[in-house]
């Protein structure tokens, strides 16, 4: 057990024992050794919680399960969540979008040193310079001195793709989208995708059919990326969840790049600033 795990467990134990929260959402190891989300309701169960470089899910997704009271006449349950710096931005986003109230969520912030997928450091983590979450109630200090990533251009791969011809990009994305099985794991893993009824599954109006054809897959992926334009926190949970290894983060990062260039906005800095598509400035004239 690392010192970070000890700190997480003692923080969770305290919150549950004091009755400050009814549930702590954290990471645990499954019997097969994978890291999965854990929902701890009893102070005695906190020893299940773990923290290491395999924790690549965004647990803020699960806060949507605690938005409404379990039955009438009962208050909305309070929960504690273990968050990394990227996830903390999702908390600010959800507070702005009035999905959660700050007082109903206890944030256990982790000083993150980067996470991995199948032993490989993730691209998002290798580019991330953030160590301390933007919002937290309890901060879990890291015991190792993080080796900060070497300074590199954040959108180097996106810039390279922009130099391709449209035909090359189409070929690339046709090849990538072709593998999509439309399991919607990317949507489920995303803290920003929380519509009750997703347009991909809506029947009335019927936006898109369930066919596994290129037009439908293109529709779904562009729609998914665009619904997160200016809202994506770059946690890359979608890409980690994808069973077909589609580089979804490229779409998200392309939009993040444009949002940064056009509006100078970064998601989740604070819970009061509107995302760029939820507001406008009368003087601007953009190339459309």
Partner 1 sequence: MAEDTFEPKIVGFLCNWCSYAGADLAGTSRMRYPQNLRIIRVPCSGRVDPLFVLKAFQDGADGVMVLGCHPGDCHYQQGNYFAQRRYALMHRLLEFTGLEPDRLFVEWVSASEGKKFADVTTAFTDRIRSIGPSPLKRQPAAAPVLAAQEVTQ
- Can you give the length of the chain in residues? 288
Tell me the C-alpha distance between 48 and 236, whole Å: 25
The answer to whether the CB of 133 falls within 8 A of the CB of 87 is yes
Q: Is 190 in the site for partner 1 (CB under 8 A)?
A: no
**Cβ pair 59, 236 in contact under 8 A:** no
215 or 243, CB closer to partner 1? 215
Q: Does residue 284 interact with partner 1 by CB under 8 A? A: yes
Q: Which is nearer to partner 1, 5 or 157 (CB)?
A: 157
Distance of alpha carbon 112 from alpha carbon 89, whole angstroms = 14
Closest approach, Cβ 277 to partner 1, in A, equals 6
161 contributes a contact to partner 1 by CB under 8 A: yes
User: Per CB under 8 A, does 123 bind partner 1?
Assistant: no
Q: Is 167 near partner 1 (CB under 8 A)?
A: yes
DSSP H helix total and E strand total for the chain = 9, 8
Please select the residue that binds partner 1; options are 27, 233, 254, 268, rule is CB under 8 A: 254
39 lies in the site for partner 1, by CB under 8 A: no
- Rounded Cα distance between 98 and 218, Å, is 30
Choice between 52 and 97, CB closer to partner 1? 97
C-alpha closest to that of 64 among 103, 105, 109, 35: 105
Contacts with partner 1 by CB under 8 A lie at 158, 161-162, 166-174, 199, 207-208, 213-216, 218-219, 221-223, 225-226, 229-230, 251, 254-255, 258-259, 262-263, 276-277, 280-282, 284-288
């Amino acid at each position: 057990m690392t010192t970070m795990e000890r700190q997480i467990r003692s923080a969770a134990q305290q919150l549950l024992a004091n009755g400050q929260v009814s549930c702590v959402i954290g990471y645990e190891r499954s019997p097969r050794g994978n890291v999965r989300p854990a929902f701890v309701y009893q102070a005695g169960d906190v020893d299940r919680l773990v923290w290491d470089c395999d924790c690549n899910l965004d647990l803020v997704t699960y806060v949507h399960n605690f938005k409404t009271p379990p039955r009438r006449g009962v208050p909305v349950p309070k929960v504690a969540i273990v968050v990394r710096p990227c996830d903390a931005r999702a908390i600010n986003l959800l507070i702005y979008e009035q999905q959660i109230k700050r007082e109903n969520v206890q944030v256990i912030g982790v000083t993150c040193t980067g996470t991995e997928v199948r032993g490989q450091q993730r691209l998002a983590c290798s580019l991330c310079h953030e160590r301390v979450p933007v919002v937290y109630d309890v901060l879990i200090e890291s015991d190792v001195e993080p080796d900060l990533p070497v300074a590199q251009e954040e959108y180097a791969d996106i810039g390279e793709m922009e130099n391709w011809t449209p035909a090359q990009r189409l070929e690339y994305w046709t090849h990538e989208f072709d593998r999509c099985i439309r399991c919607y794991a990317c949507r489920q893993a995303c803290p920003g995708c929380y519509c009750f009824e997703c347009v991909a599954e809506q029947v009335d109006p019927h936006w898109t059919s369930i066919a596994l054809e290129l037009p439908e897959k293109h529709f779904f992926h562009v729609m998914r990326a665009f619904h997160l334009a200016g809202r994506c926190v770059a946690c890359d949970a979608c890409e980690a969840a994808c069973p077909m290894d589609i580089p979804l983060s490229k779409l998200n990062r392309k939009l993040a790049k444009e949002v940064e260039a056009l509006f100078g906005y970064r998601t989740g800095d604070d819970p009061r600033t509107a995302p760029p598509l939820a507001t406008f400035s009368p003087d601007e004239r953009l190339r459309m």
